[in-house]
């Protein structure tokens, strides 16, 4: 009997010695995608079993801020209450731009048209939203408020393409980490609808029928392989691959420098590898979210980032993850945030930031950073000259965040690799239809196999365009589609 399994190698149905378990829909992973898939599949009348590698449900979503990126259809009730109309077309345009050159129009269209309804659905599942709007620039609300600006909506070039609206919707919980509340409710709902959850249960390999159809799964429970038959389909919701350094090196080497994994620990890429093993295409595997959380407080957004040439490289009011993508690409990832006295602060999420230089003049700062003479000072002078006029002709920073940096003392906060670790999670994954059907390299569906969440390549597929709430928005919305599609097969 087979005792060693590899996610990359499916087990042939004829080699399955016996069936330990059988269900209509078998889901791997009980995070945001898996929970929403389970809810919809159970509602559609399917018998649902979920295998979760961890000792408890929630996945990486439960450790996150729990933001969901939704809007359109004139606005969610929260957006409208706060005075924001949000057309489907503006949401569509923003998401297309955020998806980058490889954006999937059909997927974006489906999401944009149904995102506001999806928010109501989340409420109906019991996820609590206070309904209040929190202005300003935040990574996630530290209050129990619902609605925040969570992307690059008001920042160039996004602001020029789509009318801005805040779209980050967060469950009610004071402090960071409202993903916990959201996941508790979604998991409870899935279980109450009859989904059977197995914890400490690691998926080892898919089972493939003679005709190529995925017919089940081998799972390790209590230290031994269990053979699970899936009558209607297997849905892979096993997360991304940021915790698998070897995969990161092969697929997204630019993320190797990010040492802080945004993961509950099981983003080992096994879901993606199981898909690849049965001939699925994995796409946009080089793309990842990254952040060096330089604000709040938002006063720091009024500073300017420079590289070792003393040059600016981004409008600093863009989404922090976008700014961080640019920081990572500077020579040697050497970058500093220049601030003057009125805006100086320590970033809340990284108060131990290294202050690389302090001085009474910008010449002092330039010398202390050992930059070429004139490099930094000319950049600051040019920035100040334009900021005084309320404009930024080079990088198009929004006037809200423009003020000249003229009040000593001055400082340079270090975002160099040795001083400021970068966080990351992966965006690439299995190619799927909006229904969750996993696609082979010629774009044909692999029968019986579905994927959602970061195991799939979804809405967020371009690091420069990521906005908070896109990953869970995508995982929950397309998890639902996969659950429905698999149940109805």
Least distance (Å) between residue 423 CB and a copy of itself:
18
Least distance (Å) between residue 299 CB and a copy of itself:
26
Least distance (Å) between residue 126 CB and a copy of itself:
37
User: Rounded CA gap, 212 and 13, in Å?
Assistant: 10
488: left (phi over 0), alpha (psi -120 to 50) or beta: alpha
Least distance (Å) between residue 370 CB and a copy of itself:
11
State the DSSP H helix or E strand holding residue 203, giving kind and residue range, or none if neither: strand 202-208
Query: Phi then psi for 101, rounded to 5 degrees?
Result: -65, -15
CA-to-CA dists, residue 128 to 50, 123, 170, 185, 186, angstroms: 24, 6, 9, 9, 11
Least distance (Å) between residue 277 CB and a copy of itself:
5
CA angle 164, 170, 176 (to 5 degrees): 115
User: Rounded CA gap, 59 and 35, in Å?
Assistant: 10
Q: Which two tokens stand for residue 157?
A: 């070039």
Least distance (Å) between residue 175 CB and a copy of itself:
36
Exposed / middle / buried, residue 475 (Cβ in 10 Å: 0-12, 13-18, 19+): buried
Least distance (Å) between residue 278 CB and a copy of itself:
7
Residues 337 and 304: beta-carbon distance below 8 Å: yes
State the DSSP H helix or E strand holding residue 289, giving kind and residue range, or none if neither: strand 288-291
Least distance (Å) between residue 461 CB and a copy of itself:
9
Query: Phi then psi for 47, rounded to 5 degrees?
Result: -80, 125
10 vs 31, which CB is nearer to a copy of itself?
10
127 vs 376, which CB is nearer to a copy of itself?
376
Query: Phi then psi for 29, rounded to 5 degrees?
Result: 105, 130
Least distance (Å) between residue 392 CB and a copy of itself:
10
Q: Which two tokens stand for residue 253?
A: 């080497």
249 vs 342, which CB is nearer to a copy of itself?
249
Least distance (Å) between residue 119 CB and a copy of itself:
30
Exposed / middle / buried, residue 210 (Cβ in 10 Å: 0-12, 13-18, 19+): exposed
Residue closest to 69 by CA, chosen among 476, 484, 482:
476
User: How is 10-72 classified by DSSP, letter by letter?
Assistant: PEEGGG----SEEEEEEEE--SHHHHHHHHHHHHTT--EEEE-SSSSS-TGGGGS---EE---
Least distance (Å) between residue 108 CB and a copy of itself:
14
Residues 376 and 369: beta-carbon distance below 8 Å: yes
Residue closest to 390 by CA, chosen among 399, 378, 381:
399
58 vs 269, which CB is nearer to a copy of itself?
269
Residue closest to 36 by CA, chosen among 148, 140, 125, 159:
125
* Residues at the contact surface with a copy of itself, assessed by CB under 8 A: 6-10, 12, 100-102, 210, 212, 246, 249-251, 253-254, 256-257, 269, 272-273, 276-287, 309, 311, 372, 374-375, 378, 382, 393-395, 431, 440-444
């Amino acid at each position: 009997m087979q005792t060693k399994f590899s996610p990359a190698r499916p087990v042939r149905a004829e080699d399955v010695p016996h069936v330990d378990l059988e269900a209509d829909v078998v889901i791997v992973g009980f995070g945001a995608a898996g929970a929403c898939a389970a809810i919809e599949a159970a509602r559609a009348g399917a018998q649902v079993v979920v295998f979760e590698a961890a000792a408890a449900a929630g996945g990486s979503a439960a450790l996150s801020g729990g933001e969901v990126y939704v809007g359109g259809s004139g606005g969610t009730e929260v957006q409208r209450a706060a005075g924001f109309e949000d057309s489907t077309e503006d949401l569509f345009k923003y998401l297309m731009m955020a998806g980058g050159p490889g954006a999937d129009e059909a997927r974006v269209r489906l999401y944009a048209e149904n995102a506001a309804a999806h928010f109501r659905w989340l409420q109906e599942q019991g996820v609590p939203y206070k309904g209040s709007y929190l202005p300003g620039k935040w990574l996630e609300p530290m209050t129990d408020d619902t609605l925040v600006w969570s992307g690059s909506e008001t920042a160039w070039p996004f602001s020029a393409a789509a009318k801005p609206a805040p779209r980050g919707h967060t469950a009610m919980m004071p402090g960071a980490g409202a993903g916990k509340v959201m996941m508790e409710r979604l998991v409870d709902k899935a279980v109450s609808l009859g989904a059977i959850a197995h914890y400490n249960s690691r998926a080892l390999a898919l089972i493939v029928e003679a005709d190529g159809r995925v017919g089940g799964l081998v799972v390790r429970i209590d230290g031994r392989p269990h053979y699970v038959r899936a009558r209607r389909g297997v849905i892979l919701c096993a997360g991304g691959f940021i915790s698998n350094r070897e995969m990161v090196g092969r697929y997204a080497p630019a993320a190797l420098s990010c040492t802080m994994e945004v993961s509950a620990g099981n983003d080992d890429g096994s879901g993606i590898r199981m898909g690849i093993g049965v001939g699925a295409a994995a796409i946009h595997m080089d793309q990842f979210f990254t952040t060096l959380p330089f604000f709040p407080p938002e006063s720091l957004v009024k500073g300017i980032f420079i590289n070792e040439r003393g040059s600016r490289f981004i409008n600093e009011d863009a989404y922090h993850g976008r700014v961080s993508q640019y920081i990572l690409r500077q020579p040697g990832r050497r970058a500093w945030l220049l601030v003057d006295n009125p805006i100086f602060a320590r970033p809340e999420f990284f108060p131990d930031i290294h202050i690389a230089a302090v001085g009474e003049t910008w010449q002092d700062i330039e010398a202390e950073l050992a930059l070429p003479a004139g490099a930094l000072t000319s950049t600051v002078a040019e920035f100040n000259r334009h900021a005084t006029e309320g404009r930024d002709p080079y990088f198009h920073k929004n006037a809200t965040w423009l003020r000249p940096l003229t009040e000593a003392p001055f400082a340079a906060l270090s975002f160099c690799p040795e001083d400021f670790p970068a966080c990351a999670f992966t965006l690439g994954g299995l190619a799927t239809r909006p229904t969750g059907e996993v696609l082979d390299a010629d774009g044909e569906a692999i029968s019986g196999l579905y994927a959602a969440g970061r195991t799939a390549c979804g809405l967020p597929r371009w690091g420069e365009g990521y906005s908070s709430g896109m990953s869970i928005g995508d995982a929950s919305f397309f998890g639902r589609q996969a659950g429905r599609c698999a149940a109805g097969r």
